[in-house]
Amino acid sequence: MRVLGIETSCDETGIAIYDDQSGLLSHQLYSQIKLHADYGGVVPELASRDHIRKVIPLIKQAMAESHSSVDDIDAVVYTAGPGLVGALLVGATTGRALAMAWNKPAVAVHHMEGHLLAPMLEEHAPEFPFLALLVSGGHTLIVRVESIGRYQIMGESIDDAAGEAFDKTAKLMGLDYPGGPRLSKLAEQGIAGRFIFPKPMTDRPGLDMSFSGLKTFAANTIAAHGTDAQTQADIALAFEQAVVDTLIIKCRRALDETGFKRLVIAGGVSANQRLRRDLGQLMKSRGGEVFYPRTEFCTDNGAMIAFAGMQRFKAGVRQPLSIGATPRWPLDQLPAID
């Protein structure tokens, strides 16, 4: 079976063709970074309009690259939430309209389930059950995963997501959008130990997290110590280390609680090299293993949506003719695939 996957939840237009026998046949991605750079962040209306311009040309490219005709496509799957409602509606409308025109089934996909399952696109994929750390610009979740759809959210950020905190702190430092990756790059030049940032909510039990206070601590540190190049690098390193250490502490607690030996990290922040290294060391020390998608599948993409949609489609999930989007959609409300 073969599906067309459409991702338009925020500021990337992702299209993919996935075959359950041959794997990923085509992966097209257009990023709106240049469009939003002048504003220092995503402008929802501009994002929606750009998705409208790009989604059909990218679908045509994916169909051509995969040598797929309409007859080859068994279903159209698309991100229905969570995300920016206008952007989501572009993908939902396009996906549902194509499904209707082609007389194919349509499947609505949960964006975070796409991220959670993205490591399964790799040759060395995790087996169930496992613990998942989902870290992106909009979400930070620790999830117990028993099977597809059997999710228990064990901990989450009560304010800013980790990726959001990275971007906001980078903006305070005057770094260009998108700030998170630039802050991490700057941190490579930092001197360890010059600044020590707090690790919020690690001195109390539980798995919930908080990152907004780190932004305030960074702002105060910048105001007190200036913004010369080395100081900026030192602050970036201290900030990054505090976020990574917090995530490590929370994952260790969750692993203790579940007893799992497999850890999945996914989402945009999972591309952070310090996070990957430290989580890898943590799992090695416990006799376990860490899994993550290749870098191009860490950020939003159509491949993860196509894969997740395929699993739902094969389980018999179908969407009605109505078109809708769900900007807020808790991951643990998804039905299980038995």
Quote the tokens at residue 154.
């064990």
259 has binding-site annotation: no
Q: Which residues pair with 280 in a beta bridge?
A: none
Strand order, beta sheet including 2-7? 23-31, 12-19, 2-7, 75-81, 106-110
Calpha distance 239→274 (Å, rounded): 12
Please tell me whether 111 is known to bind a ligand.
yes
**In this structure, what is the dihedral angle of CA atoms 300, 303, 308, 313, given to the nearest 10 degrees?**
130
Q: Is 316 a known ligand-binding residue?
A: no
Whole-angstrom Cα distance, residue 120 to residue 24?
11
Known binder of ligand: residue 301? no
Residue 51 identity (one-letter amino acid): H
CA atoms within 13 A on the CB side of 79: 36
Residue 276 main-chain phi, psi, to 5 deg:
-60, -45
Does 115 appear as a known binding residue? yes
Range list of β-strands (E), the chain: 2-7, 12-19, 23-31, 75-81, 106-110, 130-135, 140-147, 150-156, 262-266, 289-291
Helix (H) or strand (E) holding 169: helix 162-172
Check whether 300 is labelled as a binding-site residue: yes
51 is known to lie in a ligand binding site: no
Residue 135 annotated as lining a ligand binding site: yes
Pairing type for strands 106-110 and 75-81 reads: parallel
Whether residue 136 is annotated as binding a ligand: the answer is yes
Do residues 84 and 10 touch, judged by C-beta distance below 8 A? yes
272: annotated binding-site residue?
A: yes
State the pairing for strand pair 262-266/130-135: parallel
Is 220 annotated to bind ligand? no
The residue written with tokens 């802050």 in the block is 183
What the block records as the tokens of 212 is 């907004």
174 neighbors 221 (Cβ within 8 angstroms): no
- Known binding-site residues equal 111, 115, 134-138, 167, 180, 272, 300
- Known binding-site residues for Fe cation equal 111, 115, 300
- Known binding-site residues for substrate equal 134-138, 167, 180, 272
